[in-house]
Chain A
Amino acid sequence: MTIRPFRILLVFVTSLIPLALLAVFVFLARYSWPALTFNGWHFLVGRTWSLGNLYADPVTQRGVLVPIGADYGILVFIAGTLLTSAIALVIAIPVSLGVAIFLAEGLRSRLKVPLSFVVEMLAAVPSVVYGLWGYAVLTPLVAHTLGPGLRAVLGFVPFFAGPIGSGYGLLAASIVLALMVVPIIAATVRDALARVPAETKEAAYALGATHFEVVRRAMLPTVRTNIIGAGILGLGRALGETMAVLMVSGGALNYFPSNIYSPITTMASFIVSQLDSAMQDPTGMAVRSLAEIALILFIISVVTNIIARLLTGASRNASAV
């Protein structure tokens, strides 16, 4: 008899989470509605972000009161977000796979637990710590060592050639993001590798496979969807990362990166760096346009997370069968 109220309580508590998600979405959509209608599609394809002249009296444009010259376009920030995340994944996935395989297969059990623990701990380091390290250590390193080295090796590709600049920019931001994403991917893939049925491995050994071949031919294919899912989880983290990127990205405005060393800005870090200035806008349109960036970022991260969930979920069902 007591099971019923408990059940109702559980349903209530469980529904809070999706409701909160929905509430965030509704809030963002409602709050940014004036910006959505004012900016239209231009928001996604415009390359110029200008708050307009905040010291002159605002004017009425398309039926709304906005500062003179206000123009909100975020294509540059979308490009910055996608580029940093993509390069971060290109760096992070091979490293993570190496770490995961080493932890799952290459170690004696005595070291396995503490080392896996260390890798998982890395995921818990606050992102601003990575940012500070990137600011103080990585950017000079990129400017003086990594950048020139990369240009010497890959300079025949236009994206890796050209001026290296200050070290702040796409490469530094991507490396910081990769460091933050590696523990997430590595831990997920390691868990998946540990779950590969002993029969699968033994069958491969029985066929005369070496240890390497077992990993390469029997284990990795089994966890392929886990790897994709983990990669997308990492992508979700990289897309939304704010402070660490802000500290090393170089805060480029109104132009696209010309090479991998160029300064960039991501959507999340732009919201932080511009909020105070936007608050100076007496018409409020600037803050609402920042909310519109948040809305788009929110949609992108929800979609990537759903894809990750579907992929990892599918593999779990497959292994259960």
Chain B
Amino acid sequence: MLTRKSKSPLHAALGGSVLALAVAGMLNAPHAFARTINVTETGSTLLYPLFNLWVPAYTRSHPGVRITTQGTGSGTGISEAVSGVAQIGASDAYMSNMQVKQNPGILNIPLAISAQTINYNVPGLNGIHLKLSGPVIAGIYDGQIRYWNAPAIARLNPGRRLPHHLITPIHRTDGSGDTFIFSQYLSFSTPYWNSHVGYGTTISWPAVPGGLGALGNPGMVQAAAQTPYSIAYIGVSFTKEVARAHLGTAVIRNRAGRFLLPTRMTVGAAAAELVNKTPKDERISLVFAPGAESYPIINYEYAIVNDHQASRAMAMTLREFLSWAVDTREGNAQRFLRQVHFIALPPRISALSRTQIAKIH
């Protein structure tokens, strides 16, 4: 009784203020509507958590802009930016040469640098970091390595008690930039994979009995958590979810033969190796970079944007927002990137991105 009494004035006050806000909103509406620009962002589920941090912060200081975000997969991001359904297509993969030839007006603008972890659910071993290499992971995904205690895995992890259980490899069923960089890592490190499977946002997965498909990074986490003895590749912005699901994270072998985890240092080292090789259109793979401290699976996170927008106002809005996003004091600041485990663009790359952003008209 007491609590109920003490609550009700609070409720009344809340109700009153909500009502007042609603009325104020209604009065404001016609004025605000005339000026609001609606930007649609869709694509990569890896970039999605970052956009969800960016958008509230940005729209607070830019009340005339409304940005809707959707995590639909990089494939959708590219195709909807090309078709014009979305203004910003988020993608972990850059467009192919042929796609660029067909759509010369589409820009591939890096917004940040991301990485990917190889995660597993091996009961009893999730607390430690198993060592895995490109050829071993390729063997698991093409069915040549079927058991967790296979000699190839045991050789990398001497002294570990590995279980004799079938491995369930999990892959993405939707078109995905995560699949793109994962299959690049396998292609660049394993000649057999390169000649038989190759890389892409979707690939023809070799037939592994029991091999699972999952939708989006959230689906990967859920499927791995639910499937003992599975292995999955998951974007680093889902590190929190991976930890909550108690999955293990592998240390993986880079080009120099060292086993690393993705940290600001190892991801930064890999990016630094390729900064000067990045061309003007910024379409380059950062996967399997040289260097002793380079984490092997990293990539630019792209905004796929048409350089010709329907209206000047839209073009200006996009230029302002994207410039804000790549600015190290704003969107590329640690307070945003730290939360999703991305790292900021090196100065030369953000300059290249700004040059591309300036082309939007």
Contacts and interface: CB of A to CB of B under 8 A. Distances in A.
Chain A contact patch, size range = 35 or more
Contacts of B209: 255, 258, 262
B6 interface: no
A282 B102 contact: yes
Given A276-B75, A276-B76, A254 B200 contact: no
A168 B223 contact: yes
A61 interface: no
B198 A250 contact: no
A263 interface: yes
A50 interface: yes
A247 B222 CA distance: 12
Residue of B166, B213, B222 with most partner-chain A CB within 10 A: B213
Contact of A254 (B99, B206, B230): B206
Contact of B98 (A246, A250, A265, A282): A282
B213 A166 contact: no
A51 B200 contact: yes
B47 to A, nearest CB: 15
A55 interface: yes
Contacts of A167: 226-227
A54 interface: yes
Given A166-B226, A263-B211, A280 B175 contact: yes
B210 A163 contact: yes
B208 A280 contact: no
A282 B98 CA distance: 6
B204 A71 contact: yes
Contact of B210 (A47, A55, A262, A273): A262
A306 to B, nearest CB: 33
A253 B205 contact: yes
Contact of A250 (B73, B99, B166, B212): B212
A145 interface: no
Contact of B213 (A49, A55, A250): A250
B99 A280 contact: yes
Interface string A272-286: 011011011011000
B79 A53 contact: no
Interface in B128-174: 166, 168, 171, 173-174
B48 interface: no
A119 interface: no
B214 interface: yes
A280 B174 CA distance: 12
Interface in B218-265: 222-223, 226-227, 230
A276 B227 contact: no
Given A165-B227, A282-B99, A254 B73 contact: no
A119 B76 CA distance: 38
B212 A168 contact: yes
B45 to A, nearest CB: 12
B199 interface: yes
Given A51-B202, A69-B198, A280 B78 contact: yes
A53 B205 CA distance: 13
Nearest to B96: A55
B207 interface: yes
B202 A277 contact: yes
A278 to B, nearest CB: 8
A55 B181 CA distance: 13
B201 interface: yes
A273 B174 CA distance: 5
Residue of B202, B205, B208, B226 with most partner-chain A CB within 10 A: B202
A202 interface: no
A57 B97 contact: yes
A34 interface: no
The 5 tightest CB contacts between A and B, nearest first, are A251-B213, A50-B204, A276-B75, A277-B202, A277-B175
23 contacts: A50-B204, A54-B200, A54-B201, A69-B204, A139-B226, A163-B166, A165-B168, A165-B227, A166-B223, A166-B227, A251-B173, A251-B214, A251-B215, A253-B207, A253-B213, A254-B207, A258-B210, A263-B210, A273-B174, A276-B79, A280-B96, A280-B99, A282-B102
Interface of B: 72-73, 75-76, 78-79, 96-99, 101-102, 166, 168, 171, 173-175, 198-215, 222-223, 226-227, 230
Given A274-B202, A280-B200, A282-B99, 7 more contacts: A247-B215, A253-B171, A255-B211, A263-B210, A273-B213, A276-B79, A280-B96
